[in-house]
Structure 1
Amino acid sequence: MSDISNKDTGNALGHAKEMSKEQGRRLWEIIKRYSQVDRLTVSSKGSVSVLKPPPKKRYSSVLLSILSIFPYLLLLTFGFSFYWDFDGITSSFFNYPLEFQGLLKIVSVSGLIGFLTNWVAITMLFKPAKRRPLLGHGLIPAQKDRIAFRLAQAVSEDLINPDIIKQKINESNIISKYRKSSTRYVKNIIDNPNFREELKQWVVTYLNEMIADPNIRAALAERILQQIEEAIQDKSFEKVALKAYSYVKGQEMQHVIEEALTQIPTSVESGLDKVDELLDQLPKKIDDHSEVIENTVTNLLYKLINQLDVHKLVEENLRSYDEQHISDIIQNATNEQLRYIQYLGAVLGLIGGFIIWEPLISLSALGIIFISVLALDHLLYRQFYS
């Protein structure tokens, strides 16, 4: 009953699959044209802004600018002290004798030592990025693997883990929002009359190309006939009826099926108006099954999230960075705070210089200033924040 071999059938069906892929690409081009996917992609790229850290508060920026002047002032003061340093100048405070000679050198050197000590300590956190024979290795580059593990652990346990992601998905109701947005998007596409016309034309073209190929048509008929024979294998009456029909038609049953297949494009073309009805009903059907759709998408998303090993992902990425990159990440994140520490070292060194010069008076003055600042801070807090 078969006119072609199994090998020919397989080749023909393989060719049919290739034709289907090509037609699928054509259909996607139609959808892209009417859905404006390319335009949306360009717009999306254009609207993406470069992520920047929050801007510094004004008082913070001003304070940092003031502190940054201190090292230069101390250096100038140290240089100036070689020419003049309160030589021979004395005074008294409540009958307490004060010797000012050498004061500039004491406070400038103390301040510079405080600044340079902090600068060296901070530099040693990040430099050298690569181990050196004499200079050693920066603390952070030397502990790269340990830092990668600890950061990955912190991220996976406290910041991004499956439970937190699921919680945020539920709280944001994002699946429902996207489903509604997608429904509106689909409706805008299918309401376009030009899209409907091209879709119908695509259907007709697809069927015509498939059925017009005699090898594909014969292979399809062969496959259909095999399925019919398998379905009536244990039914004697149906077998007799099938043979009788073939005898009456005066040709093999496969030829009868092939003739029927040639009529499919014409039949479909005459009934393409049904496509409009199906497209009109599509948004409503999506809304009617919204709960099922949302539950399905949510379950699939949960399965994906459960397979996501955040700890491993973060740790592997961090381990792949070289020591310099790890240092840059941490240094860029803490740069402002580190600069504060450096400049405050100069200020504290300056204060230490006054203590070296006159311990009793300097400590008394610092105590008064410290208590005054605490009292003022308490009053301002109660006035503006409580």
Structure 2
Amino acid sequence: MGKQQLETNEDSKKALDVAKDKTREHARHLWKIVAQYSKIDELTKTSAPPTTPPQRKTLYSASLIKFLSIVPYLLGIMFFISFFWDFNGLSTGLWGWQLKFEGLLKIVSVSGLIGFFTNWLAITMLFKPAEKRPILGHGLIPAQKNRIAYRLSHAVSEDLINPEIIKKKISESNVISRYREESTKYIKSIIDNPEFRDELKEWVIIYLDEMIADPEIRGALAGRILLQIEDAIHDKSFEKVALKAYSFVKGQEMQHIIEEALIQIPTSVESGLNKMDDLLDELPQKIDDHSDAIENIVTSLLYKLINQLNVQKLVEENLRSYDEQHISNIIKSATNEQLHYIQYLGAILGLIGGFIIWEPLLSVIILAVLSGTLLSLDTILMKRAK
């Protein structure tokens, strides 16, 4: 008897496994129906519109940059000429000053070139060498890649993107409520489609017919139901007697009675499928009636997800995965114009320094007058702009 019971249990298990496989197959078919009418494939393929990067602020006009880019070449030409002619013996008087021009060309050209190449070297050393070299060393930014990644990720997670900021933006934008309303309209547009309803009903009928029509699956389901019934009335004597009496009156084993009841399910369901239309019609309204509960659940789940999001770790790991050259290119692409301006400004400042070396007092006076004039003009224009 034990062996027969063991074989029966084994057969029941196999039948239930077959039922699970068929259920998975029908579930895939149901998903295809939903995907067809909801056009979910198109929704998943639709990516967010690409964000256009903000235009670079033109801090300096193109003509100014072009003019400044010529200065180093002019200084180089002046330095070359100074070897052959450099105001030899020329001098003049100005407001009581005796100005000697001899050697001026070489002084201002050398000072200007030193200013330009000093800034150029300093900027170059920020980014190169990208890889550590035995003698030349390592560029500042590539050498500090990991530290930069940590600092940037810390700044992003603390000041730019953190759970509290995300929650605040979600609350202010009312995005959950808006998407819930849009989802309700979207669901309604699907379930109002008569073809969708017909295919859904057909799927239900086919699924039940196929499951119940298989005698092994039907027997396994009946056995499972019978076991659950027996477990439910295990400590209830009256119910046990009633169950046995019913089986005796029917003249059948309870297993067969349950199987016969299962056979009637597809017919019963088919006759009551019209009620599915009523249920589908009521679905959008039920969603609206429980909108507050739905939004609270979604908000709670979203907040839990956000709290588990480690923004700093995510940003830091991504930045660490970049090679040194890529980090350098990111910074250079955002500041390239300013870096060139700094190089050219070094040439201009060096040129001014050359004039101060040539005639210190007069050059300082002229420079102070020019600086004061520019500062005053800038202040006046700033006040007018306000």
TM-score, with length taken from structure 2? 0.92
**Percentage identity across paired residues of the two chains:** 66
Match of 1:66 in 2: 67
Aligned length: 383
Q: What residue is the counterpart of 2:20 in the other structure?
A: 17
Query: Which residue of 2 is the match for residue 7 of structure 1?
Result: 10
The Cα shift of 1:80 comes to 4.0
Does 2:230 correspond to 1:229?
A: yes
Matches within 5 A, 1:52-201: 52-57=53-58, 59-201=60-202
Question: In structure 2, what residue type is equivalent to 1:310?
Answer: V
Consecutive unaligned residues of structure 2, counting only runs of 5 or more, are none
Q: Deviations over 1:191-250 (max 9, x none)?
A: 111111111111112212222222221111111111111111222222222122222222
Matched, 1:34 2:37: yes
Q: 1:72 to 1:188 in 2, by over 3 A?
A: farther
Alpha-carbon separation, structure 2, partners of 1:51 and 1:220? 59
Distance 1:194 1:61, change over 3 A: farther
Matching residue of 1:330? 331
Paired residues of 1:91 and 1:98 also in contact (CA < 8 A): yes
Against the structure 1 CA distance between its residues 215 and 64, is the aligned structure 2 distance closer, same or farther, given a 3 Å change threshold? Answer: farther
Cα distance in 2 between the residues matched to 1:9 and 1:85: 109
The 3 A distance-change label for structure 1 pair 9 and 66 is: farther
CA distance in 1, matches of 2:26, 2:144: 56
Deviation at 1:84, TM superposition (A): 4.3
1:298 is displaced (CA, Å) by: 0.9
Secondary structure of 1:5's partner?
helix
Range moving further from structure 2, 50-59 or 164-173: 50-59
Q: Gaps (5+ residues) in structure 1?
A: none
Kept in 2: contact 1:13–1:216 (CA 8 A): yes
- Deviation, 1:322, is 2.8
Q: Residue in 2 aligned with 1:261? A: 262
SS in 2 for 1:169: helix
Query: What CA distance in whole angstroms lies between the structure 1 residues aligned with 2:61 and 2:269?
Result: 74
Shift of 1:60: 4.4
Provide the aligned C-alpha RMSD in A. 2.2
Using the TM superposition, give the Cα deviation of residue 89 of structure 1 relative to its aligned residue in structure 2, in angstroms: 3.1
Give me the TM-score of the superposition, normalised by structure 1: 0.92
Distance 1:146 1:160 in 2: 19
Superposition pairs for residues 369-384 of structure 1, below 5 Å?
369-384=370-385
User: Deviation per CA, 1:13-58, whole angstroms, max 9, x where unpaired?
Assistant: 222222222222222211221122233344x34x632642423337
* C-alpha distance in 2 between matches for 1:197 and 1:83: 98
State the shift of 1:83 in Å.
4.8
Confirm or deny: 8 A CA contact 1:2 1:222 kept in the other structure: no
Residue 304 of structure 2 aligns with an amino acid whose one-letter code is K
Structure 2: distance between partners of 1:32 and 1:273: 23
